[in-house]
Amino acid sequence: MPFSIRPYRRFPLQCSVTYHAGPFQGQGTIWNLSCFGWRLSGNLPMRVGESCSLTVNLPSQQRIFVAAAIVRWVRGQEYGVETLVVEKQTHARLQHYVKRLVQEPSRMIGPKAQTGTAIEVH
């Protein structure tokens, strides 16, 4: 695998994810996020280049739906997934979440995370 530097900072996080690859559904955990990608582990195997969708349940009680993403790397049951298309409004809301994560990480990651609204990524 060639080495490349990510253009966006990733933030540690632990939350549940449901993902679909073709007609199959998997359950797993998101381990980090950026405005454009995710690292997750799960029980449904995926391959590099495979398309998938994600429903992420953030600790802040926000639900993010990623309609289309692509698997960029695989290590066992861990996957690096890039979001392919994001609506402007949804991307702005995700950026706002990440900004709050930078400013108040314990509030956004911890058990007392604030309730938010749903974010849909297309």
Q: Is residue 4 part of a domain?
A: no
Mean pLDDT of 110-117: 40
**Per the domain annotation, does 40 fall within a domain?**
yes
Locate the DSSP E strands across the chain: 11-21, 24-33, 37-42, 51-57, 63-75, 78-83, 119-121
pLDDT of residue 121: 44
CATH of the domain at 49: 2.40.10.220
Among 16, 97, 89, 88, smallest CA distance to 54 is for 16
34 with 98: CB under 8 angstroms? yes
Report how many domains make up the chain.
1
Q: What is the pLDDT of residues 43-54, one digit of tens each?
A: 999 999 999 999
User: Residue 31: which domain range?
Assistant: 11-121
**Residue 108 domain-assigned?**
yes
Q: Give the predicted TM-score (pTM) of the model.
A: 0.78
